[in-house]
Chain A
Amino acid sequence: EAQVTQNPRYLITVTGKKLTVTCSQNMNHEYMSWYRQDPGLGLRQIYYSMNVEVTDKGDVPEGYKVSRKEKRNFPLILESPSPNQTSLYFCASSLERTGGADTQYFGPGTRLTVL
């Protein structure tokens, strides 16, 4: 089944404890992206990648890191999480390298709480 998977789905952590949220797609998509969803703000892009080893900042990149060592995986890293990073996170992918020109397929989401 074609899909985007994220792990974990739910995570509660404490301030400053490094964490990684994994994202994987099995559709051989070029483009991958991370979003956070907060009430009243819609989806805001954190980082995106148009190819292996090519990543770029989105609208709200502060406090986050990403890597794209393999085409299928795009992990999101919070090296020192803070409470303002409590949010619902989505990974997405699309076939086209330019993510604004194609349908994006979304993972199920990761709900993160930072205490």
Chain B
Amino acid sequence: AQSVTQPDIHITVSEGASLELRCNYSYGATPYLFWYVQSPGQGLQLLLKYFSGDTLVQGIKGFEAEFKRSQSSFNLRKPSVHWSDAAEYFCAVGARGAQKLVFGQGTRLTINP
């Protein structure tokens, strides 16, 4: 069965520190991978996606993610976080011809000043 695991429910980092949010997936087909961000009181916004090609993907707001097929992972990174990055982050997986995306449980990010 397809599944996405985000092992960290809540992460706290200091402003200016680096960030890595983990995402592991289990999927039978070649995966399409997504990271979405949900700011408080808002809908989900796409940060970045990976379909094929270069396994290091750049997104909006200075985020990047790296697809590692051997580890079934798609971790999200940012070199230096800003207070405005406080939000909930969701990893999702789909595939060509798939009828839906499968979402992880989400990781809530808190930024300390």
Contact = CB atoms under 8 A, between A and B. Distances in A.
Interface of A: 4, 33, 35, 40-45, 48, 50, 56, 58, 90, 92, 98-109
A5 to B, nearest CB: 10
Given A56-B99, A99-B101, A103-B49, 14 more contacts: A40-B105, A41-B105, A42-B90, A50-B99, A90-B43, A98-B97, A99-B94, A99-B98, A99-B99, A100-B97, A101-B97, A104-B44, A106-B44, A109-B43
Pick the 6 closest A-B CB pairs, nearest first. Answer: A100-B98, A100-B94, A106-B43, A42-B105, A106-B44, A43-B103
B11 interface: no
Contact of A100 (B90, B95, B105): B95
Contacts of B99: 48, 50, 56, 98-100
